[in-house]
Amino acid sequence: MTKSLLILAGDGIGPEVMQQVIRVINWFNEHKHLDFEIHEDLVGGISYDEHGQPLTDQTLEKAKNCDAVLLGAVGGPKYDNLDFSVKPERGLLKLRKELDLFANLRPAKCFDALTNFSSLRPEIISGLDIMIVREATSGIYFGEPRGIIDDNEGGRIGINTNRYTTNEIRRVARSAFELAIRRNKKVCSMEKANVMESGILWREEVSIIHKKEYPQVELTHMYADAGAMELVRNPKQFDVIVTDNLFGDLLSDCAAMLTGSLGMLPSATLGVIRKSGRPYAMYEPVHGSAPDIAGKGVANPTACILSFAMALKYSFDLGKEAEVLENAIERVLAKGVRTADLMQERNKQPASTEEMGTEIINQLDFSL
């Protein structure tokens, strides 16, 4: 059965890292007979340059009709002065909103070969494997009212609204509990129920879903600021963390740097299950467009490739194939192959983007 992928390489280093993903997809088509059908289109700044908007209706329609979307990165300094409504990032937010991609999955896993690369002591970080589930379509990034208005006293007022409904909280809580069942049956819910009404509602609704539907999962609650401290003090106490849009944005970046490099971290954003049995889904690396190194062929493609591994798991139920890919990457790192972002030895030549892709392909061949 054909599986359709829409590739939106985007801006900056997006196109060059995505080329390595395409090589990996083609390898699986050839050697594992997975029959992926690749479609490509524009998003972000490159879409604005071509069409005057960061996401066209035609591209959005393609995203709705494909089984999954793979995205590279969006944005860059050349777009800083654009009106807010057409900034590259608005294309990404529109994709999430229109596809109703409400559960953002951000794994933070420390590969054995990179333990010494973390700023934390090896005994704290070794074996780290946690998942942060961030609500992605509501909260302060989408709530109304919002804007900047005059205060009639010579100044201005900036307004954002952190708004959540019962349904929005319950469905992302279910996603977290379902993940926990497949992992170690532990969920920690993070909010600020001590100072925010939205946090009080969050804690109450997560607790209701836990009691009614997932009593076999251990549930704990933690204030988000305390959670940030615990992530850098003792991160392995956590397995699945579920939190809102704003805190999820902050906590997942904090967790990401525990592993040493954003260039190693993928993400998935999932929506409702369609008639096909597959969820609406978008997969992307955590790193940004990195315009300072774009076009130089030095970007680390690993996070983008691992995002495809997440697609294999969560969109196509191909966990064994995802493990083959993850193990290939583990072996490449164990050999000492490093892109520039992972270099600690100054006298060693870093691998280029294409060379890293080739090393991963070689290890995939080794797995046959």
Confidence of residue 111 (pLDDT cuts 50, 70, 90): confident
- Statement: residue 347 has pLDDT above 70: no
Q: State the burial class of residue 84 (Cβ atoms within 10 Å of its Cβ: 0-12, 13-18, 19+).
A: exposed
- Total residue count of the chain as it appears in this document: 368
Whether residue 119 is predicted with pLDDT greater than 90 in this model: the reply is no
Q: Does residue 349 surpass a pLDDT of 70?
A: yes
Q: Residue 263 pLDDT > 80, yes or no?
A: no
Domains of the chain: 1-111+262-368 (3.40.718.10), 129-258 (3.40.718.10)
Q: What's the pLDDT tens digit per position in 3-28? A: 999 999 999 999 999 999 999 999 99
Going by pLDDT thresholds of 50, 70 and 90, the confidence category of residue 130 is very high
**Of 79, 141, 280, 283, catalytic:** 141
Among 164, 249, 280, 283, the active-site one is 249
Residue with tokens 């010494």: 116
Q: Note the pLDDT of residue 318.
A: 95
| 17 neighbors 71 (Cβ within 8 angstroms) | no
User: How confident is the model at residue 253, as a pLDDT?
Assistant: 86
41-85: per-residue pLDDT in tens?
999 999 999 999 999 999 999 999 999 999 999 999 999 999 989
Full-model pTM: 0.89
**Cα Rg for the chain, rounded, in angstroms?**
20
- As a whole number of angstroms, the distance between CA 264 and CA 271 comes to 24
220 has a pLDDT exceeding 80: yes
Q: Is residue 253 annotated as a catalytic residue, yes or no?
A: yes
Q: Give yes or no for a contact between 237 and 205, defined as CB atoms under 8 angstroms apart.
A: no
How many angstroms separate the CA atoms of 233 and 27, rounded? 41
The alpha carbon of 120 is separated from its chain's Cα centroid by a whole number of angstroms, namely 22
Q: Which of 62, 186, 225, 236 is catalytic?
A: 225
* DSSP per-residue string spanning 51-92: HSSSS-HHHHHHHHHSSEEEEEE---GGGTTS-GGGSHHHHH
pLDDT at 34 over 90: yes
User: Active site includes 151?
Assistant: no
Of all residues in the chain, the percent with pLDDT exceeding 70 is 99
Catalytic residue among 3, 87, 109, 192: 192
Is residue 249 part of the annotated active site? The answer reads: yes
Average pLDDT (165-174) is 97
| Geometric angle at alpha carbon 256, from 196 and 292, rounded to 5° | 110
Predicted local confidence at residue 1, as pLDDT: 77
Q: Mean pLDDT, the chain, as a whole number?
A: 94
Q: Model confidence at 112, in pLDDT bands (50, 70, 90)?
A: confident
pLDDT digits (tens, 9 = 90+) for 287-298: 889 999 999 999
**How is 162-222 classified by DSSP, letter by letter?**
----HHHHHHHHHHHHHHHHHTTSEEEEEE-TTT-HHHHHHHHHHHHHHHHH-TTSEEEEE
CB 41 within 8 Å of CB 62: yes
Map tokens 């939190």 to a residue: 243
Is residue 345 pLDDT above 80, yes or no?
Answer: no
pLDDT digits (tens, 9 = 90+) for 87-98: 999 999 899 889
In this predicted structure, which of 31-40, 157-166, 238-247, 256-265 has the lowest mean pLDDT? Answer: 256-265
User: Any catalytic annotation for residue 100?
Assistant: no
Question: Letter for the amino acid at 145?
Answer: P
Annotated active-site residue 11? The verdict is no
Average pLDDT over residues 286-310: 95
246 sits in which H/E element: helix 245-258
Q: Read off the pLDDT band of 117 (50, 70, 90).
A: confident
**Residue 50: count of CB within 10 angstroms of its CB:** 10
Q: How many CB atoms lie within 10 A of CB 64?
A: 14
User: What's residue 305's pLDDT?
Assistant: 97
Per-residue pLDDT at 114: 86
